[in-house]
Amino acid sequence: MTAPQYMAIARKWRPQTFDEVVGQDHITRTLTNAIKSGRIHHAFLFIGSRGIGKTTTARILAKALNCTSSDAPTISPCNTCDNCVSISAGNNIDVIEIDGASNNGVDDIRNIRDNIRMVPTSGRYKIYIIDEVHQLSPGAFNALLKTLEEPPSHGIFILATTEAHKIPATIISRCQRYDFRRVVVSDIVSLLKKILAKEKIKATDEALYAIARIAEGGVRDAQSILDELITYCEKQITFEDVFEVLGLVDWQYFHALCDAMLAGDVARQLEIIEEVVSAGKDLSQFVEDILRYYRNLLVCLTVGSSEMLLRLPQSEMDEMRKRAKRFSVVKLIRLVEQFAELVNGFDSQIAQRTALETLLIQLTRVDVEVSLDTVMEKLLLLGKGGIASNVQAVPESPPPNPPDAGPHKKAAAAPAPQPPPQSEPEKLSLGREEAVWREVVNRAGTRNAALGIHLGRVHPLGVDTDGVLTLAFEPGAEKAWSYFQKSKNRGLLEQMLQEETTNAQSVFFLEKTVPDNTAASEQATPTPKQDGEKPEAGDRYRRASKDPAVAVVLNEFRGKIVEIHDPTENAE
Ligand SMILES: [Zn+2]
């Protein structure tokens, strides 16, 4: 007997029975049913990412088929007979493990074909486990196919691959296919807990969740990380240890980076990158962790009880919440999207997962049909009180009123000047409506993001005595146009106007262009109203703006219609 040796956790705790395989119940159930019913297929195809139990399950299956402690294949191999022991050790004479990457030629497979015909020496079956089978050459696949078509009754193939799409359909169709899943975080955590209990080592839940998250569904990776931590920590594993041992960037850096972003401090952010790089940290890992960090902030901000989702130490949860509150959902979605894009080149789980989560949050929380870029652009403009600056500058306009400092400040993550509160309803008066209008758009944005955004493409022409506010669309504002075609949206705007202004009660939208566009004059003039019928307020603006003479004047002086005096009305 050799002295007890240090044995890697992954090997030491490798599942030896179907029951011990973690997170692949759908597979072990099917396999055990097949064994119980005696319907053993001649070719199995195990598909799934690395380190989630394909080879382990293949060995358990081989033991189940060849265990000598029972008269027939059994769902619970004894793990003590010669066959079980040698299969577990990988040196059983009838169970041959082949690495498809290095034995991928025609001759390799022909050898297998010849050997599999020979009756097994000690077991019931001769079993070939071919790992990374997608690496076989086309010729080798052909040779394999011939064997799969006419297998000897004692021959069994277990093919394992991480890349099923590289396997010819003819091969796949001859196999029973099993898709292994990445293991969910909670399953990995309970596995790690079991191992730690037996190893008599303590660890905080946060540390275990951190390990499970970093392992991204891979049991073997999680076990290797735990292994490293046990060597390092000896008695108690903490959240901080996980970062320390894995050489990850200290958690505090992410808070610092976030604070610098909130403060608009670019220099500080670059300093942090410099510190991370000069500490020799892996930058691609760092980017993934930034992504994870902002994803966590997004979860904090959008999910009420985020503790269960994030599994961070309480002090960290507090820090995250504090920062999450300073962002808007839209800003965080934007950040997550952009960091995910940066990470995407690394083809990681976290990138795919955050992309999905972000989309869901976006679809749930941001009720707009426009692209996120447009949303951000508009919201940032709103934050700077500049949304109406899309309008042609009108020299005689008073300086823009500062935007509402109320709940709206949430929308702009970039540091925006903090203006004094101003929320009294105002008169949308002609001549200075630009400033008031900007205010209206700002408030609309805080009530309803979509309304605010679309209003940003609309410009006021004036309010008449009936309280009708006439509005024109910017050129190309197709989305705003279709948004306001819906009476619901129009109603939303009107309701807001009634509350926020003293005079505007309803709206009238001019057709799709602003009046300083000469193209307007080329469009068909509206049908004149019948004599005796008083033209509606909006109609008057529309007609005026389309009058060729007026259009020329507007264009020439970059002006706009401020007021319409109708001599017939005055005469009444
Ligand atoms: Zn056995």
- CA distances for 248 relative to 122, 276, 299, 311, angstroms: 49, 10, 22, 18
pLDDT of residue 358: 64
> Largest Cα–Cα distance of the chain, in whole Å?
118
Report which residue type is found at 334.
Answer: R
Other CB atoms within a 10 A radius of the CB of residue 527 amount to 6
Render pLDDT for 60-86 as a digit per residue (tens, 0 to 9).
Answer: 999 999 999 999 999 999 999 999 999
- CA distances for 304 relative to 1, 352, 355, 393, angstroms: 58, 23, 21, 44
pLDDT of 457 strictly over 60:
yes
Let me know: does 212 contact 188? Beta carbons within 8 Å: yes
Render pLDDT for 240-286 as a digit per residue (tens, 0 to 9).
Answer: 899 888 877 787 889 998 998 888 888 888 888 888 878 887 777 88
> Measured in angstroms, how far is the CA atom of residue 83 from the centroid of ligand 1?
6
User: What would the two tokens of residue 109 be?
Assistant: 């497979």
The answer to whether the 9-179 and 185-245 domains have the same CATH topology is no
> Measured in angstroms, how far is the CA atom of residue 571 from the centroid of ligand 1?
109
Burial of 271 (0-12, 13-18, 19+ CB in 10 A): middle
> Measured in angstroms, how far is the CA atom of residue 35 from the centroid of ligand 1?
15
- How far is residue 259's CA from residue 251's CA, in Å, rounded to a whole number? 13
Angle, CA of 412, 416 and 417, to the nearest 5°: 145
Q: 537: Cβ–Cβ under 8 A, 6 or more apart, which residues?
A: 464, 465, 466, 468, 470, 508
For residue 217, is it left (φ>0), alpha (ψ between -120 and 50) or beta? left
Q: How confident is the model at residue 526 (pLDDT cuts 50, 70, 90)?
A: very low
Q: 418: Cβ–Cβ under 8 A, 6 or more apart, which residues?
A: 405, 409
User: Which range among 78-92, 300-314, 472-486 has the greatest average pLDDT?
Assistant: 78-92
Render pLDDT for 14-56 as a digit per residue (tens, 0 to 9).
Answer: 899 999 999 999 999 999 999 999 999 999 999 999 889 999 9
> Measured in angstroms, how far is the CA atom of residue 111 from the centroid of ligand 1?
28
Give the residue carrying structure tokens 């020799």: 280
> Measured in angstroms, how far is the CA atom of residue 90 from the centroid of ligand 1?
14
- How far is residue 67's CA from residue 77's CA, in Å, rounded to a whole number? 6
Predicted TM-score (pTM) of this structure: 0.56
> Measured in angstroms, how far is the CA atom of residue 49 from the centroid of ligand 1?
29
> Measured in angstroms, how far is the CA atom of residue 109 from the centroid of ligand 1?
29
394 vs 87, residue with greater confidence: 87
User: What would the two tokens of residue 146 be?
Assistant: 């011939």
- How far is residue 18's CA from residue 508's CA, in Å, rounded to a whole number? 71
Render pLDDT for 349-389 as a digit per residue (tens, 0 to 9).
Answer: 666 666 666 666 665 555 443 444 555 555 555 554 443 33
Let me know: does 383 contact 409? Beta carbons within 8 Å: yes
> Measured in angstroms, how far is the CA atom of residue 77 from the centroid of ligand 1?
5
Give the residue carrying structure tokens 């193209």: 519
> Measured in angstroms, how far is the CA atom of residue 84 from the centroid of ligand 1?
4
Give the residue carrying structure tokens 């869901």: 360
> Measured in angstroms, how far is the CA atom of residue 64 from the centroid of ligand 1?
8
Average pLDDT rounded to a whole number, residues 159-185: 93
Q: How confident is the model at residue 418 (pLDDT cuts 50, 70, 90)?
A: very low
End-to-end, the C-alpha distance of the chain in Å comes to: 117
> Measured in angstroms, how far is the CA atom of residue 72 from the centroid of ligand 1?
11
> Measured in angstroms, how far is the CA atom of residue 178 from the centroid of ligand 1?
24
pLDDT of residue 300: 86
> Measured in angstroms, how far is the CA atom of residue 69 from the centroid of ligand 1?
5
> Measured in angstroms, how far is the CA atom of residue 65 from the centroid of ligand 1?
9
Let me know: does 392 contact 516? Beta carbons within 8 Å: yes
> Measured in angstroms, how far is the CA atom of residue 78 from the centroid of ligand 1?
4
- 468-473/458-463 β-pairing: antiparallel
- How far is residue 467's CA from residue 498's CA, in Å, rounded to a whole number? 9
Return the domain boundaries, the chain. Answer: 9-179, 185-245, 251-365, 373-571
CATH of domain 251-365: 1.20.272.10
- How far is residue 450's CA from residue 355's CA, in Å, rounded to a whole number? 22
Annotation: CATH topology of 9-179 = Rossmann fold (3.40.50)
Render pLDDT for 550-565 as a digit per residue (tens, 0 to 9).
Answer: 665 555 454 666 666 6
pLDDT of residue 412: 37
The sign of the dihedral angle between the CA atoms of 210, 216, 219, 224 is negative
Which of 190, 224, 214 has the alpha carbon at shortest distance from 20? Answer: 190
User: What would the two tokens of residue 527 be?
Assistant: 């049908």
Other CB atoms within a 10 A radius of the CB of residue 135 amount to 17
pLDDT of 522 strictly over 70:
no
Q: How confident is the model at residue 470 (pLDDT cuts 50, 70, 90)?
A: confident
> Measured in angstroms, how far is the CA atom of residue 192 from the centroid of ligand 1?
27
Report which residue type is found at 321.
Answer: R
Let me know: does 157 contact 43? Beta carbons within 8 Å: yes
Burial of 4 (0-12, 13-18, 19+ CB in 10 A): exposed
Q: 453: Cβ–Cβ under 8 A, 6 or more apart, which residues?
A: 368, 370, 374, 375, 378, 379, 445, 480
Report which residue type is found at 455.
Answer: L
pLDDT of residue 36: 94
DSSP SS3 for 156: strand
Per-residue DSSP letter, 234: T
pLDDT of 304 strictly over 90:
no
> Measured in angstroms, how far is the CA atom of residue 73 from the centroid of ligand 1?
10
Backbone angles phi, psi at 561, to 5 degrees: -80, 120
CATH of domain 185-245: 1.10.8.60
524 vs 33, residue with greater confidence: 33
Let me know: does 327 contact 365? Beta carbons within 8 Å: no
pLDDT of residue 572: 39
Which of 85, 50, 337 has the alpha carbon at shortest distance from 220? Answer: 50
In DSSP terms, 459 is beta-bridged to 472
Helices 349-365 and 283-302, axial angle in degrees (round to 10): 30
Give the residue carrying structure tokens 């309304």: 451
pLDDT of 332 strictly over 60:
yes
Strands (E), 493-569: 506-509
Other CB atoms within a 10 A radius of the CB of residue 143 amount to 21
The sign of the dihedral angle between the CA atoms of 404, 409, 411, 414 is positive
- How far is residue 382's CA from residue 402's CA, in Å, rounded to a whole number? 10
Q: Which residues lie near ion ligand 1 (Cβ < 5 Å)?
A: 67, 69, 77-78, 81, 84
pLDDT of 93 strictly over 70:
yes
Other CB atoms within a 10 A radius of the CB of residue 519 amount to 11
Q: How confident is the model at residue 426 (pLDDT cuts 50, 70, 90)?
A: low
pLDDT of 396 strictly over 50:
no
